[in-house]
Amino acid sequence: MEIYINGEKVSYTLQNEKTFNDVLEFILSFLDKNDLYIDKISINNQSYDFEEVEKFKSYSIEQIDKVDIKAAFKQELVSETVENIISYLTNVVSYFKENENYTEENLNKIKDGLIWCINVVDKILVIYSVSVEYFLTKSEKQFSFVCQQLKEIAENLHLISSNKEFKQQLLETIVDFMDGMIKIVTYVFVRLKNLPKETKKEHFITLFEDNIKLLSKIKELFISIANNFKEGKEKTAMELFSSSINFLAFYFEVLILCTDSFSDSDYNFSEIHDSIKSFSEIFSNIKTSIAEKDYVNLSDILEYEINEPINKLIIQTNNLVDYLKNYKIENNSKSN
């Protein structure tokens, strides 16, 4: 099997791979390390959108001779797409503010446009393996709620001509949606290695301030999860627990990105590293309790043991935010 990325042949030796999916995992890992994503893919000289690749995953290695991939930088996709979405939504807001009567044709076009915006967000989040639940808008709504709200509004857009409250809700939701898009770009920017620190620190501050608010909600959620386990509602408890752990993983990722970006500063990151390690131990105990179905011990961990480490982490993150707000770039220090 030959693999090409942007016209260049990739040096790759088959080892224990048996299916195309095994090779695809290597390709995706390689691209992710270089902040690239698959824009187009050709398999055996036939072009496909990446979403169509699913049907080839079970193919044996012998069935595929050549894979040709057109890859693009993730941040370029995000920056350009978000810019287009915000420009489009700004025009939509202006249209509704400046007019009172709307044709059915225009409303249908706007409905399709709003759905397109939501679908693009989904694609960006898949590329970066993050969730809409990890971002807050300026109105402190979770972006997941705003996306769902915009989707429902789009489906009922015909109401705008006769319902002023609906129109106001639409305009407010679009503004919230645009703010959520900007928060996603903020996350993308902190991942960039060559972004100037002065710019990057502002993005970290924005993310941390939102993350602290969300972490406080997660702390309350752990009590609810513990109660669900006690009441025998294992499925509900596990779903809530899984989403909570995923958010904490995102929280830690942003912290680690910050420690890497400002490793040459005078800030002492050792306490944050120790906190992350302590959560690893707690999660190990939680995993054991789940495996053994020891829901009494699991409830105790979620209700009592995890509370203090979360409070400590919130304090540490607040201290880091204060430091970043006062951080000055001296002598054009290197970007990270």
Determine what percent of the chain is predicted with pLDDT higher than 90. 43
Report pLDDT for 316. Answer: 96
Is 57 in the same domain as 88? no
Q: Tell whether 98 is covered by a domain.
A: yes
Which residue is it, tokens 């040096």? Answer: 11
DSSP 1: -
Whether pLDDT at 203 is above 80:
yes
Determine what percent of the chain is predicted with pLDDT higher than 70. 98
Last residue of a domain, one of 141, 157, 189: 189
Whether pLDDT at 274 is above 90:
yes
Instruction: CATH number of the domain at 32, please.
Output: 3.10.20
Report pLDDT for 155. Answer: 94
Is 179 in the same domain as 212? no
Is 182 in the same domain as 151? yes
Sorting pLDDT into bands at 50, 70 and 90, what band is 1?
confident
- The residue segments making up the domain with residue 159 are 76-189
Mean pLDDT of the chain: 88
Is 227 in the same domain as 310? yes
Is 184 in the same domain as 218? no
Whether pLDDT at 333 is above 60:
no
List, for residues 22-66, the tens digit of each pLDDT value: 888 888 888 887 878 888 899 999 888 877 888 888 888 889 889
Sorting pLDDT into bands at 50, 70 and 90, what band is 74?
confident
Last residue of a domain, one of 73, 94, 126: 73
Are the C-beta atoms of residues 120 and 150 closer than 8 Å to each other? Answer: no
Residue with more model confidence, 74 or 288: 288
Consecutive H or E run containing 46:
strand 46-48
List, for residues 87-132, the tens digit of each pLDDT value: 999 999 999 999 988 999 999 999 999 999 999 888 888 878 888 8
The burial class, CB within 10 Å (0-12 / 13-18 / 19+), for 74 is buried
Report pLDDT for 110. Answer: 96
Report pLDDT for 76. Answer: 78
Identify the CA nearest to 225 among candidates 211, 240, 215, 213.
240
Mean pLDDT of 229-241: 86
**CA-CA distances (angstroms) from residue 22 to 14, 19, 29, 47, 76?**
10, 5, 11, 20, 28
Whether pLDDT at 72 is above 50:
yes
Query: How many domains does one find in the chain?
Result: 3
Is 114 in the same domain as 169? yes
List, for residues 285-331, the tens digit of each pLDDT value: 888 988 888 888 888 888 888 989 999 999 999 999 999 999 876 53
Is 209 in the same domain as 103? no
Which residue is it, tokens 């645009």? Answer: 178
Neighbouring residues of 103: CB distance < 8 A, sequence distance ≥ 6? none
Is 232 in the same domain as 244? yes
Is 64 in the same domain as 11? yes
Are the C-beta atoms of residues 160 and 107 closer than 8 Å to each other? Answer: yes
Sorting pLDDT into bands at 50, 70 and 90, what band is 143?
very high
Whether pLDDT at 15 is above 80:
no
List, for residues 155-194, the tens digit of each pLDDT value: 999 999 888 899 999 999 999 999 999 998 899 888 877 7
Report pLDDT for 193. Answer: 72
